[in-house]
Structure 1
Amino acid sequence: MAVEINSKIVGYRVKAEQETPPPAPLPEENPLTLRIASRPEGTLEAVSEKISYVGAEGRKKVYLLVSFMPVEGVLNGQRVIIERPVEFFFPSGQLSSEHQWITATMRSLSLAARGGYVTQAVADLRKVAWDKGLVRCGMNRWGKPMFHDSEVAAIAWSIQQILYRRGFLDQDGRQVPVEELVSRYARRQASGHGWFPAEVEDEEIAQAGASEPIDGKAQAGGQSQDGSQGKEHSQGDGPAVVGHCPECRGELIMMDGCPTCYAGCGWSKCG
């Protein structure tokens, strides 16, 4: 539409465009502690683990499944994604009468995982003890057998190892910082394969059994000048060995006052 101007123009001003206000910062939302209402429908990535342990009742083998899913959150104003465990499943019929308690524990762990405190829940399960002696399950980072106070503690330790190999916990069962979880998930998406734990190197263990230096020089063969063997820097974990099993030649340790095989067959001198 044309407008006729009859008066003299004495000045003009260009109308400035309105400035767009900056977007509001995203509220912080830690993906590690974000509560998940329920397990989502559909397929989730899962790890299936066969757990083998030896206790007072001999060797047992059970299966455990842990499901994982990506969880989105906000850190320092940026949207990030990490991977979290959300479900623990123990197939039925593995421990007969104790199955109801195992099922209840797995359901509680699943709730803890979706609530954001599964690390503390699993660590607390490792404190459970019973009156049937120690349970042997797994090996530590130095290749020594691990002994636990109960079957529950052994299974809890196995869960920690699953979460460690998945990159969610460190090797000692402590929570990996959320920033590192973000980085690991991003690398996984970029490379197409999961995070793998690095090799653990311990100088003290590597030097175990080596001779003590004399005058600043170590003697060959782990023997000193006077013919005595050098002291080891570390001692083996677990109970003292009291003999060898007559059936499988494995190590015997004392359980409830009876020499019992912990190498695998479960033989006991007391029957």
Structure 2
Amino acid sequence: MAVEITSKIVGYRIKQQEQAAPVPELQDESPLTVRIPSRPEGTLEAVSEKISYVGAEGRKKVYLLVSFMPVEGVIGGKRVVIERPVEFFFPSGQLSSEHQWITATMRSLSLAARGGYVTQAVADLRKVAWDKGLVRCGMNRWNKPMFHDSEVAAIAWSIQQILYRRGFLDRDGNQVPVEKLVERYAHRMTHGHAWQPDEETGDAPVEAGAVEPIGEKTTAEKKPKGSGPATVGNCPECRGELIMMDGCPTCYAGCGWSKCG
């Protein structure tokens, strides 16, 4: 805008530029521990999985849904985004009324997920044992069956598998550092697909048709001599110990041989 000068100029002064107010530095807040008050409205990405396991009452198949959502936080003064599980859902009517505990447990896990401590909660469920014998659920990288101390532990192991394949946990069931979670979410946004276990050194892909074990050695390595269920002989296939499973001698070492087929 032009200004007309109508009087004689007798001096001048350079106007100082006004200094902008300093931008306050953002305080660090880990997106792993940000509390989510409730399940947000609208659609969330989810993984649906059929879980099959064999216990004292025979083979059972159930369905489990795990929902994920992006969560913001601040790391090193910068805003970052990761993907977190926020909801565990077990459709009702799948099992008898005595399995109401499964639905109750899923509700508790959902609260733990929104509170930021789902990794510890699932790990604790892996330790639950009962007196009905071992439960067979899932296959390890050698395509051999895995055994768990209870139905709760078997379902918790299956949940860990979902979170591992999604990139939220490592293969041992431990929490992936938040910096890696930031990178994996950015990878998803850039490439249009989720991070895969074989895309980083140290996370080799599992064999086709198999599931990578989390926090498990082979049962032959894990079982101390003289502990665990009573043995009834030796496996004719791998010479491992046999235990009674569903009324049939079954290989405890993990090769899967059973006298009943």
TM-score (norm 2): 0.78
8 Å CA contact 2:63–2:91 kept in 1: the answer is yes
Q: How does 1:94-109 map to 2 (within 5 A)?
A: 94-109=94-109
1:255 aligns with 2:259: no
Which residue is 1:45 aligned to?
Answer: 45
Distance 2:58 2:14 in 1: 90
The answer to which of 145-154 and 93-102 deviates more is 93-102
Calculate the aligned-residue CA RMSD, in Å: 3.1
CA shift, 1:73, in A, is 1.1
Match of 1:200 among 201, 204, 224: 204
Distance 1:266 1:37 in 2: 52
Structure 2 unaligned segments of length 5 or more: list them: 207-218, 224-228
Distance 2:23 2:65 in 1: 43
- Quickly say closer, same or farther: Cα 1:201–1:50, change in 2 above 3 A: closer
Query: In percent, how many aligned pairs have the same letter?
Result: 70
CA offset digits 1:64-104 (Å, max 9, x no partner): 00000111111111111100000001111222123321111
- Quickly say closer, same or farther: Cα 1:235–1:129, change in 2 above 3 A: closer
CA shift, 1:109, in A, is 0.2
1:4 aligns with 2:7: yes
CA shift, 1:141, in A, is 3.2
CA offset digits 1:244-264 (Å, max 9, x no partner): 79xxxxx99423895445759
8 Å CA contact 1:146–1:237 kept in 2: the answer is no
Structure 1 unaligned segments of length 5 or more: list them: 203-233, 246-250
Q: How does 1:21-40 map to 2 (within 5 A)?
A: 21-40=21-40
- Quickly say closer, same or farther: Cα 1:91–1:260, change in 2 above 3 A: farther
Which residue is 1:77 aligned to?
Answer: 77
Higher Cα radius of gyration: 1
Which residue is 2:213 aligned to?
Answer: none
8 Å CA contact 2:70–2:83 kept in 1: the answer is yes
Query: What residue identity is the alignment partner of 2:204?
Result: V
8 Å CA contact 1:252–1:259 kept in 2: the answer is no
Query: What residue identity is the alignment partner of 1:26?
Result: L
3-state DSSP class of the match of 1:54? Answer: strand
CA shift, 1:59, in A, is 1.1
- Tell me the number of residue pairs that the alignment of Structure 1 and Structure 2 aligns: 229
3-state DSSP class of the match of 1:119? Answer: helix
TM-score (norm 1): 0.75
Q: How does 1:50-199 map to 2 (within 5 A)?
A: 50-198=50-198
Distance 1:267 1:93 in 2: 31
Distance 1:264 1:59 in 2: 16
Distance 2:246 2:159 in 1: 30
